[in-house]
Chain A
Amino acid sequence: MIRKNLLSLLFAVFIGLQAFAQDKTVSGKVTSSEDGTPLPGVSITVKGTTKGASTDANGVYKISTPANSVLVFSYVGFTMREIQTKNQTIIDLQLSPDAGVLNEVVVVGYGQQSKKLSTQTIATVGSKAIANRPVLSPQELLQGQAAGVQMVGSSGLLGANPVIRIRGAASITGGGQPLFVVDGVPLNDGTLSGGQGGGSGLNPLLNINPQDIESMSVLKDAAAVSIYGSRGANGVILINTKKGTADRKTEISLDSYVGFSNPTSLIPMMNTEQFVGYVAAYRAARNLPAVSLSNDYYDWPTNVVQQGKTNNISLSARGGNQSTTFFIGGTYATESGFTIGNDLRRLAGRLNLEHKVNKFLTIGTNLSISNVDMDRIGAENNTFAPLTSAYLQLPNVLPRDASGNFLNTGFIQNVIGIEALNTNRFVSKRTTGNIYADFKIIKDLVFRTDFGMDYNAGDSKTRNVNLFTPSGAASRDFQYDSKWLSTNTLKYNKDFGKSTIGVLAGYSFETSLFDRISVAGTGFASDALPNVISAATPTSTVEERSEWSLESQFARFNYGYDNRYVVEASVRRDGSSRFGADNRFALFYAVSGGWILSEEKFMKNQSFINFLKLTASYGTAGNDRIGNFSSLDLYGGGVLSDYAGSPGLRPTQVPNKSLTWEETAQLDLGFNTTFYKNKFNLSINYFDKITSGILLNVPFPYTTGFSSASKNVGKMQNNGVEIDFNANIYDKADFKWSVGFNSTFLKNKVLELPEASIDPDGNRFVAGSGAQRAVVGRSLNEFFLVEAIGVNPTTGDLEWRTKEGAATTTYSANNRVFVGSAIPKWTGGFNTNMSFKGIDISAQLSYSYGNKVLIDGLGFTDNMSATAGFNKSVDLLDYWKQPGDIAFVPKLSSTTAPLFSQLSTLRLQNGSFLRLRNVSVGYTVPKSILEKLKVVRTLRVYAMGQNLWLLKDKNFRGPDPEVSANGPNNQILGESFFALPQARTVTFGLNLGF
């Protein structure tokens, strides 16, 4: 009681003192210097006091201040201004948008931070960079744009899953894909469909409309990813979609574009004359009886390519008032690829809504629904892949008979007929979203509960007609991943004088069910019966279910002092159903610190450096991609176990109770500066990631009865430097020009593989494919091949190099040596943006240097044998004829000729390239004109070209240096059978605002 009275007394004294000072009221209106619109929510403080106010919906504020004080106006994204009140009572002012990136807010795991003060290393691609890039898959937005992010478009196939690696591959067999989180919902990233010849399957982000994206944050260092615990080791990509805007007139945007695409290159193959001549010469040279071949000719490759076409129309409305904000968007896109039979249609809608119930409670939702309908084609090593088969098809084989009917052309099938008559369809339906509620419990303490879901269904249908699959065949395969998660967090942010603290604590539970039903049958009375029910013989019926769940607690604490020193710690404990009971739970953590030198007194008396920050972080994250039940010993039933009509069981998996997470520990040292009138920004980060307890599919000798089992063995390092440099060279109202450059130097090294096999030279290795392996002391993707020297000009024989270095005409796998890595030494990009009055020009280039690429299809098209049932590369015509010839191919009678196509460095290519990814020119019609017309608010027209120019090795043989047939598989990088080359696209578009 006494204590309470004392407090009241103190309070009264304080009030009294306040009243004693001669306060007066200042009011005014804050607007944006850019377009004069009022700025709501601008923070106004009286310098040196704790007094503050903020602007209302109309940008109007009112604050009582002592005389002759200084008011500080600050607003996120705008330059802070300080104004002497003097004797004024009305102060109207304009704030100008901040040119630099440093006042930006950056999206981090479970929240956002001031970019200036954040100690996490995050690359952000914001809405501005996205706005002028009409692309169909979100990953394309990252290509060459963010240091440390290597993105390889795996092929020109529609919907192909690109390879993304963040600071190198942190795992060997555990999968390399980062975790994608959309508005707080970690996405399922199963592909729900077969690869149809390509190893990469379909893009898990196929259903996300890039035009709905506000920002993409790539979380790179441990400080950023450890809050995602057991799924953070490959990096995390946070995708935040567009939210509503308060107190603005509803803005309606219409974006429409049309694009035309062509393949960047085709491989030259023999025509009939060349083929028949070659076969005759080969047979004569080798004393084989002559054969009579047809002289018909059909140019398969040029007949399976066409001009692809894209149409996209997106319509959105964005707005709101003080209590409710919304973003509603819809898109319809159609795309036909540059090979026949490859089409895609996407229909997607989004509703992001937030409503303030009262000053304590805010509720909201982010919800997207989409439908993607694809006409698929085979890819890579699949005889139903149009371009692969077109390359391999004999040139004297015709697709149609004399009366125009399609012909069955045998094993290398008539892809033109297949695309005309067969059905190969994939429909994906996806609903992703969350609903949430924020309770402000007390000032500065917010509780959020968030319920998220991701339902992703894939429905594949095939129907092969009688002509190509005698009696006809059909299949239907329906699969879905259904996830729900509940996330509950408490956030506390408070300033105490010069100190600021932020606390986050959370609990989440996440579970996902995979379900699949699939049927297939053969024997159809008529090609006009499309469905499996009409099949005489059911050949496959599958029902499959698998579930996993993850329970987590996590927390983050940060402390800042005087905007100069920041420290942060985060921790996450994950429990997963994927691991054995003994190893179910694991702890991940990170600590980080930052020093903003530019806030120090000793930096204040210079003006060259505007901002300078040093950061350091260290911590851990894990990888749980091992399948759902890898720790158990299992017997499986089904069609691989049944016999003569009765069910059976067979051993399918070896037990491994001790299986657990792989853990990646990462050190990051960062340097970030802005200098010379905020014009230049430079970031340099050094990182060193060490993954231990690597989940390795340890190969067993087959004499065990098993091929491999997952074990936690091995250690690997990825270290390197990321450089990101941006310059706003001109920043005048009617002329702006900026350039950017980023580069990542990456060194990947396998440190230990204790249970892996040992090659004859004593190297421990794990083979990824027949051509590449992870090798201790070398990289994860080291090509191991017999080195071909070339054709000896004197003898006409092909020579390989023995391990000792001597030339030999005997091919032997014992002579395999390490001939380079599929991992680039440097990757990165350049970009530039220029605007002059209403005209804007931008260009992006991306590059890769120091990597090798293996084109496996050359093993077929370089086959010198006359009986091989494939067409041949025109390069085979360059065979040795007489002493002195410098030829690519050995003499036809050589004993080495049948071995020419054996796996050797002849199939290995230099994978370095520099590609003009994107160049665009746009014109924005000036406001003055539009205001007179009073029809539209904004109008921009543009033209864009993608992949218009490519610099590659002049000796490159293959479709494209930018290939990877195996998608997220970390063990096979840079290999392709015959990938579709990247598309060269020209797009014309229109952005309209109402």
Chain B
Amino acid sequence: MVGVTVAVVQFGGSNCDRDAVRALEHVGVDAERVWHEDGLPTDAEGIVLPGGFSYGDYLRAGAMAARSPIMEEVRAAAADGVPVIGVCNGAQIGSESGLTPGAFTTNASARFQCEPVHLRVERADTPWTAAYDEGDVIEVPIAHGEGRFEISEAAHADLVADDRVLFRYCDADGNVTDAANPNGSTDNVAGVLGERETVAVLMPHPERATLPDLGRSTDGAGILEAFA
């Protein structure tokens, strides 16, 4: 949609920022990369925290970027209702900055995993999932070494009670099983909502499953269409 400008925040070490812009433009969303030191454009109508290895994953993945000045602006915008999505390293930044609950840490395999996975859409009544039906199974790739979702038992109970799990890892038929859990995430959680439904993070890469000429799936396009 013309007029909607989505800011894709680029940190040193981000590497999915261009992919995100390309994928957003493909679904008709005007998007631009914004260098973190330049601050958030005042007219940003949406924010993407893209994947990569911001600050070399020093200390913990996302820890440094989460404390950068632009994230104060992102938190303020999120609180005002501006849609914000964090993908992969962006998800780690989002959880480290308190936009969403829990933490993403070392995969149970202790390996970097780059592979297609299936996700079950747990909520279809959010901006991120309006293109799907609840229970839909979509195929989107992961590429991370620190994607295991960890959360305290009490916070997990709240997360489930508040219905803030957006996606769970599942098999091709939508069964949420240990075998379909690529990284040992608690409760197979792949993506969660923040306090507002306009804020979400997920480890899989929707921008890598949007352009038809890029690979096997375009299932991720629906997530990015939230900005349209």
Q: Do A and B come from one complex?
A: no
- Chain B residues packing against A (C-beta within 8 Å): none
- Chain A residues packing against B (C-beta within 8 Å): none
